[in-house]
Amino acid sequence: DQQVKQNSPSLSVQEGRISILNCDYTNSMFDYFLWYKKYPAEGPTFLISISSIKDKNEDGRFTVFLNKSAKHLSLHIVPSQPGDSAVYFCAASERMDSSYKLIFGSGTRLLVRP
Amino acid sequence: DAGVIQSPRHEVTEMGQEVTLRCKPISGHDYLFWYRQTMMRGLELLIYFNNNVPIDDSGMPEDRFSAKMPNASFSTLKIQPSEPRDSAVYFCASSSLWGETQYFGPGTRLLVL
């Protein structure tokens, strides 16, 4: 009963092209979504977030799109760079819930080929 | 800013031994979280504190696990007795406000033989 799902365990793209990482969720009460990036032997680092009142948030090369009706969000990286090679986790939470928790997906490993 | 600090970075112990993991959150952050990452279950929240008080420990797997936060700059996660299935990477994270972005430490890789 995973509430946050990343169905693609891995993704390989050419440098300079677009990387699209996908995430689906089941809990309609989630109202805040985040993407974290993780390099080996390091902790996850925050990348970008989006509130459920928006459908898009952009930060440099990174854009997150939220489709509430489909319970789907995606992270676009344009252009992709070799340094973007990492594991990407999406996470979701109910900010109005009195017990604040982040629920993480299982991650997608991105490889950007030079 | 030093970020979230965790120690040790690696721990190898034998089944039945007590294990203590340590965390120093970012100064000024009122929320502290303990996570565990395994291949089977991914990244899961174990417990979190607000102003040194445990708020939600529903993710703590069993009574062998305990966590404390004696002051704003230090927290421990203890496993006693440890078992091989406790082998995982344990992360500590902190945030400044309720519902805000969490910042993770580098993790402690635990191996219980």
What is the model's pLDDT at position A96?
Answer: 64
Most confident of A64-73, A89-98, B31-40: A64-73
Q: Is the pLDDT of residue A1 over 90?
A: no
Average pLDDT over residues B21-36: 95
Whether B45 has its CB under 8 Å from any CB of chain A: the answer is yes
Query: What are the E-state strand segments in chain B?
Result: 5-7, 10-13, 19-24, 31-38, 42-50, 53-56, 65-71, 74-79, 88-95, 103-104, 108-112
Query: Which residues of chain A neighbour B32 with C-beta distances below 8 Å?
Result: none
Whether residue B107 is predicted with pLDDT greater than 80 in this model: the reply is yes
pLDDT the model gives residue A48? 95
B-facing residues of A in 31-90 (CB < 8 A) are: 32, 34, 36, 41-46, 49, 89
